[in-house]
Amino acid sequence: MRAKFLLLGFLAISCAARAELPVLMPQPAQLQGAGTLVPIPKSLGIAVEGPGQLAQSAALQLLAQFQPQLQLRQVEAAQAQLQIRVRQSIQMPGPDDDESYQLEINKDRINLNAPSSTGMLYGLMALSQLIRCDSSATAGVCTVPTVTIRDQPRFRWRGLLLDSARRFIPLADIRRTLDGMAAAKLNVLHWHLTDDQGWRIESKAYPKLHQLASQGQFYTQAEVQQLVAYAAARGIRVVPELDLPGHASAIGMAYPELLAWPDAVQDQQGLKPLPAERRFGVFTPVLDISSAATWQFIQALVAEWRQMFPDPYLHIGGDEVKADHWLANSKIQRLMQQQQLADGHALQAYFNQQLAHLLQQQQRRMIGWDETLHPALPQTTLVQSWQGQDALGAAVRAGHPALLSAGFYLDMPQPAAYHWQNDPLLVTAPLTVPADKKQQLQFGYNLQRLNGKAVTGTVRLYQTKNGQWQGSLAATGRGVVPAQVRVWLVTPGAGALQVRVDADNYLGPVQLRFNLQSGAPAQALALIGNHSYPLELRAEPYQALAATPALTAAQQQLLWGGEAALWTELVSPDLLDTKLWPRLFVVAERFWSPAGSQHIATLPSRLQQMDDYALQIGLLHRQQAQASLQQWATRVLTGGSTALTPAQFQALQDFSQYLQPLHYYGRHHLKTAAGRYHLDEPLNQLADALLLEPPVLLALQQSFAAAPACQLPTDWSVWQRAFTQQQQLLSPIATGSPELKRLLAQQQQFSRIISANSQPAEKASQLLQLLQPAGEVVFAPAAAALDWADRCAAQTQ
């Protein structure tokens, strides 16, 4: 794929014109200076003062890897262009390390000072983003801007969960991911190693686990220790997840006697090994926690893992535990009676108490997903929220340190802006209702998802005395979030209003659209990101929101940060980078940088620059997308017999920049409904070959966002010419793909809709129709233009 994408010239020019200081992601806590570019030699002399030669050497090697044009050489301090001073060497990073640094660049020298070798590493990573070398010029043409940076992280825990249990991820791919994490200043790899679909780590105490339940794909203990050392050299802790007591199908493949079986099954069939679980979902196998053999098993595994993973924390999962087999097992029932446990949740809390004590004996602290939260849960347990702001707030109000992962799931495509705005402190903030409201409306909603399971909740709208509208959107059991409300006339003078309610909740960016006349809603529709869902609305009597207290200062201190998550149901190793980069830089900025430190309007242009930087440091997102698209084209468009011409494939690449896979869990739900949600489903569809926020699409979104009210973007003719060229080259070869034919037809419709002399409400209605997916893919410009049409409609009422 080309290093520079078609139509991005104007984007780069506008960014350069605005930027007085260099773009860094994550943005530093303090960045000052003129930003004047000064030359540095490609043969860069470095002097390092301080302990820890191994840590220093690893950090400098990473800088050389990220800036291959440079030749680093050790020199005396007087001759050094880069002077580094570090006070403490950290061989194995920990949760309380000082990660701060100061970087000063002037016309004479680059000075980097850090209290620890981890801070030194982060300073060098910032420097790697600042250096610009012209590879086509003569030796010595590299520049850096004159700046002073004083930097430290906002949150102590900045992680990425990688799921090797469902689909095995080779070590080379994990090492490359660790390199990217270091550049993004992420400091925790949460390694999900056990689940229903597989057990991915060697066990010498219970060898059947990797022999029978890994499908031959597992990491040896020696490989694990090597990876932990590789991560540590990049300032990254490795926190493993041993999922207990549910998600236990893989354990049942190897040691079925450790599971709690319903009495009827055990009596009739005996204890037979479970077959390999190829499906995805939530399953009933669960450990027999009444058995001494089960506790011996857990203790032995923790002892093994303690030797491989030196980090003080161990994640025990604890999510999605089904109590069905427990409640149908007489031994478990006797345990519940003895301990006076009322239900499955209380039983799991009892298990967690015992497990926390076992971990404490092994000098380990427990982390669990938010289902583990219970009044009996030891307060030392770190709670990780995947279910939304209610769970996160409940955890810290109960005195637990907590992490936020809800809103940072990278396996379900979402706009980078959605992740960027998902501030761990703000999601727990109490909502305010306008004091000067003159009317208040409430509607219950039922949003029907593609997997057949509806989301329910409440919408509240407030009109203030000056005519402005505000609102909130609640999801049942998941919390209430502020909503931006746009209201405009459907038919001037008719008294009917069209309402648009926007809120970022656990589903993603949610938009509810409906007409409102005499307080009754009609013609309702929901959008989750880039595609639509059926929506039912009903008027309800208004009920005031329950007051939620603001977090105290002490409770805010318990919010330790968060983790992005990449689950691998729809992610294979050859697609790994396309799902992670460059979006992971955006999540990393949310965890590192001060709140509100960069206006969101600049995010698309900054994201494009990080896309280029990610390519420079060896990440493979563009390469993987190109290879996957080539494979799809050969299989679908040419039947595998011939290849597209270079011009045809270039046109397909360019056209793919306007496409996106369905946001949220749209693809997962479609596959579930079709019976294709399992490990044997090939990840070779057009949706798999797409970058999640292609640079050209970002440029088009900016173009529509910058357009004056009710006017076409100034560069609309440029986009039209690109569309025409793609149509000419792709239409003749699209006969083998109904999906591609429909998307090309949508591109033609899009051009006609935007160019037509029609009312903004009519354009919006037509653009909504274009958000109907073709297979698992959406023609994404329709969503950007919908915002443009809505803005026009709201301003012309």
Q: Cite the active site residues.
A: 320
List the one residue out of 650, 672, 700, 651 whose CA is nearest residue 776: 672
List the one residue out of 90, 102, 51, 390 whose CA is nearest residue 237: 90
List the one residue out of 355, 399, 375 whose CA is nearest residue 367: 355
- Distances in Å between the Cα of 419 and the Cα atoms of 24, 97, 563 are 17, 26, 11
List the one residue out of 84, 86, 76, 75 whose CA is nearest residue 104: 84
CA atoms of 586 and 23, how far apart (whole Å): 13
Helix axes 603-616, 695-706, angle to 10 degrees: 160
CA atoms of 750 and 744, how far apart (whole Å): 10
Q: Which residues contact 93 (CB under 8 A, 6 or more apart)?
A: 118, 187, 232, 235, 236, 237
CA within 13 Å, CB half, 197: 21
CA atoms of 594 and 586, how far apart (whole Å): 13
CA atoms of 591 and 425, how far apart (whole Å): 11
CA atoms of 452 and 357, how far apart (whole Å): 41
The two structure tokens encoding residue 625: 């997308």
CA atoms of 279 and 489, how far apart (whole Å): 48
CA angle 325, 331, 337 (to 5 degrees): 100
What one-letter code names the amino acid at 488?
A: W
List the one residue out of 548, 507, 505 whose CA is nearest residue 393: 548
What one-letter code names the amino acid at 751?
A: S
CA within 13 Å, CB half, 65: 17
CA-based torsion, 76, 77, 78, 81: positive or negative: positive
CA atoms of 302 and 308, how far apart (whole Å): 10
CA atoms of 160 and 177, how far apart (whole Å): 10
Query: How many C-beta neighbours within 10 Å does residue 612 have?
Result: 14
CA angle 250, 395, 460 (to 5 degrees): 110
CA atoms of 566 and 570, how far apart (whole Å): 10
CA atoms of 735 and 739, how far apart (whole Å): 10
